[in-house]
Structure 1
Amino acid sequence: MDVGISLSNGYSLEYKILIARCYLFGKCCETGDCRVVNNITGLEADLNGQLHGQHLAKEVVIRAVQEFLQSPRPEKALVLSFHGWSGTGKNFVARMLASHLYRDGPKSECVRVFISLFHFPHHKYVDSYKDQLKKQLTETVQLCKQSLFIFDEAEKLHFSLLDAIKPFMARYDNRDQVDYRRSIFLFLSNLGGNTINEVTLDFWRAGRAREEISVEFLEQRLWRELQEPAENGYARSHLLEENLIDFFVPFLPLEYHHVKLCARDAFLARGLPYTEAALDEVARTMVFVPREEKLFSAQGCKSVSQRINYFLP
């Protein structure tokens, strides 16, 4: 088989060499791209075992990603928007997705991470940023048909940057003869955290389990907060009004026992022994709010892995 003839000229030389090797050794991957593994079983197992206090995030992410990957011809790229306080697991889930969808995990050439204030710090250069961003998205999809784009601190992105990448997330229009329908976009934001926390606190005060909270119950409240006039890209861009976001994924605030589980995981990850007393000591170093109930960790599980150093023999 003449691999060079069979492949589109739009693919990079590295991609052609990769596929050629697959054919030569008779080991073509099920996905058609050896860099893509799409291990949904492993993803689900790790979410269940390592993501604490987030029944909604687990449910929505697994369902959305699995259905998207199983679709033979998706109409558009998959767009997920993660919302909640810092330290509740948004970045953790994003990294986990990269690790289970790609052979090389977050380091894969199929994965691009953009941090708003790091990559796009100055509004006066927004026109230049738009051109650079669109170029990077196009080149990544040409290199890897199933690409993963992660935008951290998404609420701080200039609204015109969000609008500039709308066509990449919209229904397929043969843009630049590049097919973006197999791409996945993740937006990570602290926006909506106050609404999510208020709902969780109301359930606790009413004596109801947090697991009773449904996505449907949160969705309208979350939508209203995202559209409030403010200096955030969501409110000023056209992402919401054009319904380009497929799923809003709420991350609930973490309680004391969730922080203990994070501490346990941090000990295990370093191969260190631990006791219940040690886990309690780590959890007690965190700040809990509101002032009256002291129910939720103000930092989620952020910094827990560093704090265990203070309790080592």
Structure 2
Amino acid sequence: MIWLRFLPFIWALSAKGEFFQFESLSNVSKYYFNYIYCNIWEGDCQPHQDDTSLEVPTDDLWSGFSKDYIQMLSEWYCRLGQCCDTGDCRITNNMTGLEKDLEQKVHGQHLAQAVVLKAVPGFLKNPSPDKGLVLSFHGWSGTGKNFVARLIADNLYRDGVKSECVRLFIAPFHFPHARLLDMYRGQLREGIRDAVRRCQQALFIFDEAEKLHPGLIDAIKPYMDHYDNVDGVNYRNAIFLFLSNIGGLAINEVTLDFWHSGQNREDIGMEDLEHRLRNEALDSQGGFSQSQLMMGNLIDFFVPFLPLEYRHVKLCARDAFQSRGLQYSEGALDEVAKAMVYVPKEEKLFSAQGCKSVPQRINFFLP
């Protein structure tokens, strides 16, 4: 029977009676079989939500065990043939898939593609990173910041953004009231700590990061710093993505200058933008300004997302039709692209909304 596989682990946990009190060994076996199979090694099962005997304990499940013992249990379980190459079946780290997705699905963002394809695989290949990877995505709304963050999650984790290894925080939604800052600090710290305990390679996405209170960023700064551990937890394998509109105007100015001078936008390099983005973040009124994250130089890359042109909007429209299995023509793609608003007023070069509303707009052009 499959439950026999877990007897060594169940025996060990039942011996730790000072951490968890159960009435009988059968209760221990029932709880930990369900917990291990459904939550830790992601078995194909449906936990019984109405069974209070199967509730996850509030204490840290692993706090009573040494790292060597946890490693021994992991190796023992893998010998049963239930593990993946990464050692955690929730983690896929499909770098080939990430490269293909960025090449085929992301349009007009050669800098973001290049930085992500260097930074993420390089970080994951390092067995002992000095700190977690911190990337800050900058640009106008609709240029692809959220989309690229989702592609990273989709290729690093089996369940993408739905994975328990991934946490998404939307600043105005999760932390709307300045008067509740102390409560938000505690919630955010606990959320990050819990995710890393559950999944060593965790991904944290902060959307609309410019609206984060500086105190919130400072509260989680230790998790992105060069520490072996914080309160016994190692955060060095975590990835932090900050998405914001900061620097959007500066990015657009540089892109427009290249266009005026007759240069291709693909000639724009990181040296043309990264320093300006850092200065914009320091001078902003939002969460980055004067935060310890900035003062400590903990952001590894400021990643610019360039404004999208007419040709890029057409490609977004094509992708929207294809994703729904719909037929399209060049004329239909042109009609969708023409329906967008373009700026500046004189050149009408950049889509003011990027590609953000394209999937909804194609409905207007369907028969």
Distance (Å, rounded) in 1 between the aligned partners of 2:113 and 2:9 = 40
| 1:25 shift after superposition | 3.8
Equivalent residue, structure 2, for 1:40: 95
Residue 59 of structure 2: aligned partner: none
Cα displacement string for residues 194-244 of structure 1 (whole angstroms, at most 9, x for unaligned residues): 11000000000000000000011211222221111x421111312112011
The structure with higher relative contact order (CA 8 Å, sep 6+) is 1
Q: Which residue number in structure 1 is paired with residue 326 of structure 2?
A: 272
**Closer, same or farther: CA 207–22 of 1 in aligned 2, 3 Å:** farther
Q: Conserved in 2, the CA contact under 8 Å of 1:99 and 1:106?
A: yes
Q: Give matches, 1:144-155, under 5 Å.
A: 144-155=199-210
Match of 2:128 among 67, 73, 79: 73
1:99-248 alignment runs, 5 A limit: 99-228=154-283, 230-248=284-302
TM norm structure 1: 0.95
User: Across the two proteins, how many residue pairs are aligned to each other?
Assistant: 310
231-240 or 296-305: which moved more? 231-240
Is 1:262 equivalent to 2:316 in the alignment?
A: yes
- 2:213 partner amino acid: H
Q: SS at the partner of 1:227?
A: helix
**Whole-Å Cα distance in 2 between the matches of residues 74 and 277 of structure 1?**
50
Matches of 2:75 and 2:162 in 1, distance apart? 22
Deviations 1:117-145 (A, max 9, x none): 00000000001100110011001100000
Q: Which amino acid aligns with 2:296?
A: E
Checking the alignment, whether the CA contact within 8 Å between 1:3 and 1:20 is kept in structure 2 is no
How far did 1:22 drift?
5.2
Distance 2:275 2:169 in 1: 28
CA distance in 2: counterparts of 1:33 and 1:119, whole angstroms = 29
Alignment CA distance shift 1:37-1:22 (3 Å): farther
* Coordinate RMSD, CA, aligned: 2.1
Which of 1 and 2 has greater Rg?
2
Amino acid at match of 2:287: G
Distance 1:21 1:256, change over 3 A: farther
Unaligned runs of 5+ residues in structure 2 are: 20-34, 44-73
Q: Does 1:98 align with 2:153?
A: yes
1:235-294 C-alpha deviation (Å, 9 max, x unpaired): 131211201101111000000000000000000000000000000000011000000000
Work out which of the residue numbers 295, 306, 317 in structure 2 matches 1:252.
Answer: 306
Identify the residue that residue 356 of structure 2 maps to in structure 1.
Answer: 302
Query: Would you say the 8 A contact 1:57–1:250 is kept in 2?
Result: yes
Aligned equivalents of 2:274, 2:316: Cα separation in 1: 27
5+ unaligned residues in a row in structure 1: which ranges? none
One-letter identity of the residue aligned with 1:204: W
What letter is aligned with 1:110?
A: C
Instruction: Compute the displacement of 1:23 (Å).
Output: 2.6
Identity of aligned residues (%): 61
Residue 40 of structure 2 aligns with an amino acid whose one-letter code is Y
- Are residues 3 and 67 of structure 1, via their aligned partners in 2, closer, same or farther at CA, if it must alter by over 3 Å? farther
Deviations 1:64-98 (A, max 9, x none): 00000000100100000000000000000011111
Provide the C-alpha distance between the structure 2 equivalents of 1:275 and 1:58, rounded to a whole number of angstroms.
Answer: 28
Q: CA shift at 1:17, angstroms?
A: 7.1
Distance 1:21 1:253, change over 3 A: farther
- SS for the counterpart of 1:309 is helix
Against the structure 1 CA distance between its residues 24 and 98, is the aligned structure 2 distance closer, same or farther, given a 3 Å change threshold? Answer: same
